[in-house]
Amino acid sequence: MNALMFQPNTASGYYPQIRTCKSMRELKQVHAFLIKTAQTHDPTVASEILRLCATSDFRDIEYALLVFDQMHERNCFAWNTVIRALAETHDRHFDALLVFCQMVTEAVVEPNRFTFPSVLKACSVAARLEEGKQVHGLLHKYGLVDDNFVVTNLLRMYVMCGSMEEACVLFNGNVDGVAGLGRDKRKEEFNVVLCNVMVDGYVRIGNLKAARELFDRMVQRSVVSWNVMISGYAQNGFYMEAIEMFHGMMQVGGVSPNRVTLVSVLPAISRLGALELGKWVHLYAERNKIVIDDVLGSALVDMYAKCGSIEKAIQVFERLPQNNVITWNAIIGGLAMHGKVDDLFNYLSRMEKCGISPSDVTYIAILGACSHAGLVDEGRSFLNDMVNRVGLEPRIEHYGCMVDLLGRAGYLEEAEELILNMPMKPDDVIWKALLGACKMHKNIEIGRRAAEVLMQLTPHDSGAYVALSNMYASSRDWDAVAEVRLMMKDMDIRKDPGCSWIEIDGVIHEFLVEDDSHTKAKDIRTMLKEISNMLSLEGHRPDTTQVLLKIDEKHKESVLHYHSEKIAVAFGLISTPPKTPLRIVKNLRICEDCHSSMKLISKIYERKIVIRDRKRFHHFQHGLCSCMDYW
């Protein structure tokens, strides 16, 4: 749009005065005077008033439309200004298309290369593919199909509308070899931009394989290229791949991570509990003068909390501007995950004293904390507060928290009744919460009903079948167990294996149940045997009731011996100096035997052991756990 800026009309004398306006009030005063003196007939003056109304910091789109309607002579700049303003205004994208149609219909002024990017953006955001195709036809009419600026926006329109077939045709017809010509720098940069748009398109539809193939074929890559792949992997659950991509970016050179890179990779680091890498990212931001704003700061708080260092999360939070609910939600969510209920209530009080009203996300964290601490009355009170004082409508996640809270505390009938009377259809997450509570309290009747609903909602999810099988096994109903397992076999449903991760010297090590594939497997087995002997000396006896298989006791003890978190702890003990804390991430809920074992291991080896399971954090130290054995 800068290329279309008008030069001041010194003949009128009013144009410079318009540009000095600092508020809508000032601009309206100047405009009123110009109307009174008939100076708005000057197209340059009228266009500048329109520009300020439509695109300035104090923009007023409705007033801009009034100015536009009153213009005696609308030049291309005026049309472009209004179309762009509407395309960039929430819920006004279709209006931008209507104004463009008016421009084309009147045929007084032809659209130019600055008109179409805004029109295509409106098509993209509003997902108007058919209108976008019509605009594509107009580009041929006006001879703009070879304009790099326009083609890039056209390709982005097809991508954002999910039409990858049309995007591929356009891409293949405009890129000169995926790597670029190498001789024409502008063409090479254009090719990189087109490739980035296509990679983003494949990521949007979840085709990470195609995205990676195109990315690998690019000889030249910009920081956007790397960011799209890193965020694509992270958002689709490929956390190791996201981190590997980040490492690759650092090793290649020539492209430095920016704020978007760090915000994209931090969720992957969080999920895998890679604290050392997270610390490195934090240090990189500080050393390279990357502003740690609300978004990056909140991502860092979330990373430290999810990697087990709630103390560092608090330190980062205290240095951030605390005027954004997202930042407060990050620290409150972290405290909830670590079971620090009293601290959470203190931060909630501070938040409201700062004039920040809790959001629905805040209440999800609060209700989750109440669930972990067994605070049933407090949870009910907070839900009531959310609805009646703050005026927020409960989402399905809030009902899920309440079902989990009631179920853990043993109020299974009330939890089931809540599900049946919800104002929206309960999802599989809510039924899984009830089923998990039924398993905990050995209520087969309600558990069977919950499992049957789950099998209908998600027939190929192993969770319901495994939980139901385990409940039958705990009551020694082996015929029912066999029936459920036969059903799983017939439907080719496999149980998710237990998996744990531990980061040692910046390297993430992954262990499965009974995993014997690690390069140090022999040393790990030796350490596991030592741990078993030391636990026996402390009077610990393996809780074989946790092994819900029809096998002998010795075999059951062996199964417990090789749970993934125990393997990870053994590896941590042989790989780090004495007194070094061990931080482990597990994909499933920690079992009772592993929980009791970890308490003793922390005492025997004088180590702090932090384990994040599927639900929460457990801080084991001096033979105790932070959850107080309620999880």
Query: Residue 625 is inside which H or E element, if any?
Result: strand 624-625
The two beta strands, 499-504 and 582-586, are antiparallel
Distance, CA of 181 to CA of 176 (rounded, Å) = 6
The pLDDT of residue 410 is: 95
Selection from 107, 114, 104 nearest residue 134 by Cα: 104
Distance, CA of 348 to CA of 336 (rounded, Å) = 11
The DSSP bridge partners found for residue 610 are: 583, 619
The pLDDT of residue 186 is: 65
| Residue with token string 């015929």 | 479
What is 265-298 written as a DSSP string?
A: HHHHHHHHT-HHHHHHHHHHHHHTT----HHHHH
Buried b (16+ CB within 10 A) or exposed e, 315-346: ebbeebebebbebbbbbbbbbbbbbbbebbbe
57 SS3 class: coil
Average pLDDT by stretches of 10, the chain with 631 residues: 35 59 81 72 77 82 88 89 93 94 92 96 94 95 92 95 94 66 58 94 95 93 96 96 96 90 97 95 96 95 96 96 93 96 96 94 96 95 95 96 96 97 94 92 92 91 85 82 86 86 93 90 96 94 68 68 93 97 94 94 97 93 94 82
Contact between 406 and 418 under an 8 Å Cβ cutoff? The reply is yes
Cβ-based burial of 175 (10 A; exposed 0-12, middle 13-18, buried ≥19): buried
The pLDDT of residue 10 is: 40
Selection from 496, 526, 39 nearest residue 49 by Cα: 39
Task: Tell me the whole-structure pTM to 2 decimals.
Answer: 0.84
Distance, CA of 194 to CA of 605 (rounded, Å) = 56
- CA dihedral over 241, 295, 504, 249, signed as positive or negative: positive
CA atoms within 13 A on the CB side of 214: 27
Q: Which residues contact 318 (CB under 8 A, 6 or more apart)?
A: none
Distance, CA of 160 to CA of 158 (rounded, Å) = 6
Distance, CA of 494 to CA of 517 (rounded, Å) = 21
Distance, CA of 350 to CA of 59 (rounded, Å) = 34
The pLDDT of residue 484 is: 86
